[in-house]
Amino acid sequence: MKKDVHPEYYPKAKVTCACGNAFTVGSTAKEIKVELCSACHPFYTGKQKLVDSARRVEKFKEKMEKKAAMSATKKEKKPRAKKSK
């Protein structure tokens, strides 16, 4: 086996989350900075955060409201009388 091929392993590497949570894990990096951890991730906390930068959700809701309004106005119109032969 070649010497100096593998990186150094740190059994107590410090992981710091953006929410302020910190814990230790084994890693080849001494310090790791993450944006989400198990303390703040929506899957683990049960709190859903909806990040919608392009207004896609609002646009979809507006579109569905327009369709509902259109179908309601169509239902209000009287049906045409059938032509008899």
What is the residue-level pLDDT of the chain in tens, covering all 85 positions? Answer: 688 898 999 999 999 999 899 999 999 999 999 998 888 887 777 776 666 667 888 888 999 999 998 887 776 665 666 776 6
pLDDT for position 17: 92
| Ramachandran angles phi, psi of 66, nearest 5° | -65, -45
DSSP state of 78: P
CB atoms inside a 10 Å sphere around CB 6: 9
pLDDT for position 15: 95
Can you tell me the distance from the alpha carbon of 1 to that of 5, in angstroms, rounded to the nearest whole number? 9
pTM, 2 dp: 0.48
CATH code of domain 10-75: 4.10.80.400
Burial class (CB in 10 A: 0-12, 13-18, 19+), 5: exposed
